[in-house]
Amino acid sequence: MEIRLELLVLFAACGLVTLIPRILPFLLMHGLTLPRLLTDWLSFIPICLLSALFFQNLLVAQNSDYPSLSFLHLAASIPTILIALTSKSLSFTVITGVLSMALIRFLI
């Protein structure tokens, strides 16, 4: 079992470009009072980002065309959303999602 040097360098570089956007606001916005407009805007980021990440998982990018909808992911999302609404539990939601997807793949 070995670690290739070129991969170590690559992973370190990828780690660095990942680290910078993660830490920059923490280092710069320290003790700063932000304008109201910006804090309002930031308050919408969680909903919008989580929605976008979810929808991105349902869409399949196409070459120079609109994305297509993955019916497989859509189908597995339905029981997952229902369990999220009724159980209000993240763990149950994740388990339901994985089992639904496994079941759908088994059936088709």
Partner 1 sequence: MASSFQAGVKACLPTVLGYLGIGFSAGIVGRAAGLSPLEIGLMSILIYAGAAQFIITSLLLLNSPFSAIILTTFIVNSRHLLMSMTLAPRVASRNRFDQFGIGALLTDESFAVAMNTSLKQTIDAKFMHGLNLTAYFSWIASTVLGALVGSWFPDPERFGLDFALTAMFIGLLYLQFESERSRVVLNAILLVMVFVLLYISMRYLSPELAVLFATMTAASMGVVISRWKSV
When asked if residue 32 is in the footprint of partner 1 (CB under 8 A), the reply is: yes
| 35, 47, 107, 108: which one binds partner 1 (CB under 8 A) | 47
The pattern of x and - marking residues 82 through 101 that bind partner 1 according to CB under 8 A reads --xx--xxxx-xxxxxxxxx
* Minimum distance, C-beta of residue 79 to partner 1, in the bound complex (Å): 10
Site residues for partner 1, 57-86, by CB under 8 A, read 57-59, 61-62, 64-67, 73, 76-77, 80-81, 84-85
- Choose, by CB under 8 A, the member of 13, 71, 107, 108 that binds partner 1: 13
Burial 15-53 (b: 16+ CB within 10 A, else e): eeeeeeeeeeeeeeeeeeeeeeeeeeeeeeeeeeeeeee
Chain center to CA of 96 = 18
Whether the Cβ atoms of residue 97 and residue 76 lie closer than 8 Å to each other: yes
